[in-house]
Structure 1
């Protein structure tokens, strides 16, 4: 049986509403909540981007059993790896061990605010070195690190869960998958069985646009989600929401609706989630597109979607 998560999409929701949504997601029966960690929204129309770690602290305090994770944090530019470890350890302690740190190589959209965006090859080298700092700190070690990209003269974490914090990595190909083999699992945004590690958790994410009117949902998905089809080599490089708007200008409503189930049809939404379960993913986080439409989605999740997914054997 897979675990199902609710995505706290910072790009489309204000911070206090995100905390309320997390509490409601726990009530609705979701197993975990995944939060995006952005400085900017993908598109101006989304309209938000609060600091994910402040939201996580509030969510950890306001919930009881909901597992939490970042999906995902980049530890190579906007944050120093030692600071990422401290953030993760603090949320792990506040949640009494309910937190998993999801990491990835990041996007120019968010990371250029702290300096020039490195070439892809360099970013992967930086990510590998960041893990050499984060993992031992989370394990309770004192770290002395002098590397190519990062220096840590001396650091230890004074507050952390007794069992540490699991670390999972966003993967999209052979290089990132090889790096993830030393970690506790993988994160992917495609239902591809090759992006899993045997015997370890695999986290997927699927976008939905639920609502009673399919036509309205299709329009909302185009307005808020048309960036998603640009693929990772483009997503990682564009610098700001205006660039994403220009790059997605020729995406049509039909294009988005072909990738995102829209409207009230329960079977269509279940089928989209089922692709990840069939590919062997142990955890699937769901995104409801549209910041103002979360309560209706969570109510529907509680009454129809989650029971259907679990009855389906997912």
Structure 2
């Protein structure tokens, strides 16, 4: 059984629109929504970055059935894990058993805003491990004190606490972090049908749910879709670790100025209005081992994508 999801893109849409899109996704028959957690958009053309936990309160009350996930939060630098633990606990209580908490080591784009040094990846994993320990202690509802290498917690207690530990799924883009996710998380979160990541996760004993995101833009023509992606989501075509290391939308725009429409058309981003490539991409992700696959419709025209999903995709992906 594979769950089909829809992206609530906080970088592109305001909070009220995101709540409405969540309601629409539920009506369209999606199994889950995943909302991104950013302080900045990647590039200015995206135009938004509402506070995810406020938006999630609206999503929780506007929907009844659909599963709700955060894909993903960095609970280490920009926000102290005590505050993230409280936010997660509140949303978990509001959602009941519908909530899934995704975590990752973050991007400099969002975390540098508080003036802290942006550390190397191994240190970020240490921060994440300690932050997860702090949050899990607080989610018990018991009085918590902690004096660790990176965080101090003094006499803290969540009076609005979840009944059970929230499902916490770890983001990984490479095999090494996937193995870490198997040891420290309840599942795996990724982007694209990366089979090596799933193999590493399962090889290290990981048995939890496996999420991945597929990026695309449905439009009347492929040329229109490519134009939209080139303007709104050029960051999707940037190589390597740039997405984790660049500090501001301005820097992403400077690098993205080198992204040509031809590169977008040749990338894994879905731009064909024919449903077959979308179905094939979904099936590739399933074959790679993912059991939660969700679509990101790039650009302002979400209504067209919902119609495309209902008319062309839903029956084929069931």
Q: TM-score, normalised by structure 1?
A: 0.94
Match in the other structure for 1:53: 53
Larger deviation, residues 195-204 vs 73-82: 195-204
Q: Distance in 2 between matches of 1:189 and 1:201?
A: 14
Q: Is structure 2 residue 162 aligned with structure 1 residue 161?
A: yes
Q: Distance in 2 between matches of 1:156 and 1:148?
A: 21
Match in the other structure for 1:268: 277
Larger deviation, residues 104-113 vs 229-238: 229-238
Partner of 1:97, secondary structure, is helix
Partner of 1:245, secondary structure, is helix
Please say if residues 31 and 67 of structure 1, whose CA atoms lie closer than 8 Å, have aligned partners that are also in contact: yes
Please say if residues 111 and 118 of structure 2, whose CA atoms lie closer than 8 Å, have aligned partners that are also in contact: no
Please say if residues 77 and 115 of structure 1, whose CA atoms lie closer than 8 Å, have aligned partners that are also in contact: no
- CA shift, 1:101, in A, is 0.7
Alignment of 1:142-157 (within 5 A): 142-157=143-158
- CA shift, 1:174, in A, is 4.2
Q: Is structure 2 residue 237 aligned with structure 1 residue 229?
A: yes
Match in the other structure for 2:303: 295
- CA shift, 1:232, in A, is 4.7
The root-mean-square deviation of aligned C-alpha atoms, in Å, is 1.4
| Residues 220 and 159 of structure 1, relative CA distance in 2, 3 Å threshold | same
Q: Distance in 2 between matches of 1:66 and 1:34?
A: 10
Instruction: Provide, for residues 166-201 of structure 1, a one-character-per-residue CA deviation record: whole Å limited to 9, x for no partner.
Output: 000001234422332232101011322342344310
Please say if residues 218 and 262 of structure 1, whose CA atoms lie closer than 8 Å, have aligned partners that are also in contact: yes
Q: Distance in 1 between matches of 2:175 and 2:142?
A: 30
Which of 166, 183, 186 is residue 184 of structure 1 equivalent to? 186
Q: Distance in 2 between matches of 1:166 and 1:101?
A: 6
- CA shift, 1:122, in A, is 2.1
Q: Distance in 2 between matches of 1:307 and 1:113?
A: 44
Alignment of 1:84-233 (within 5 A): 84-120=84-120, 121-180=122-181, 181-196=183-198, 197=202, 198-233=206-241
Instruction: Provide, for residues 249-278 of structure 1, a one-character-per-residue CA deviation record: whole Å limited to 9, x for no partner.
Output: 111112112221113110011112222111
Match in the other structure for 2:34: 34
Please say if residues 108 and 117 of structure 1, whose CA atoms lie closer than 8 Å, have aligned partners that are also in contact: no
Instruction: Provide, for residues 77-121 of structure 1, a one-character-per-residue CA deviation record: whole Å limited to 9, x for no partner.
Output: 111111111111110101112111100000111111112332213
Match in the other structure for 2:5: 5
Partner of 2:166, secondary structure, is coil
Please say if residues 136 and 165 of structure 2, whose CA atoms lie closer than 8 Å, have aligned partners that are also in contact: no
Please say if residues 168 and 184 of structure 1, whose CA atoms lie closer than 8 Å, have aligned partners that are also in contact: yes
Please say if residues 128 and 179 of structure 1, whose CA atoms lie closer than 8 Å, have aligned partners that are also in contact: no
Q: Distance in 2 between matches of 1:18 and 1:270?
A: 25
Please say if residues 97 and 161 of structure 1, whose CA atoms lie closer than 8 Å, have aligned partners that are also in contact: no
Match in the other structure for 2:253: 245
| Count of residue pairs brought into register by the alignment | 309
Structure 1 residue ranges without an equivalent (≥5): none
Q: Distance in 2 between matches of 1:281 and 1:160?
A: 30
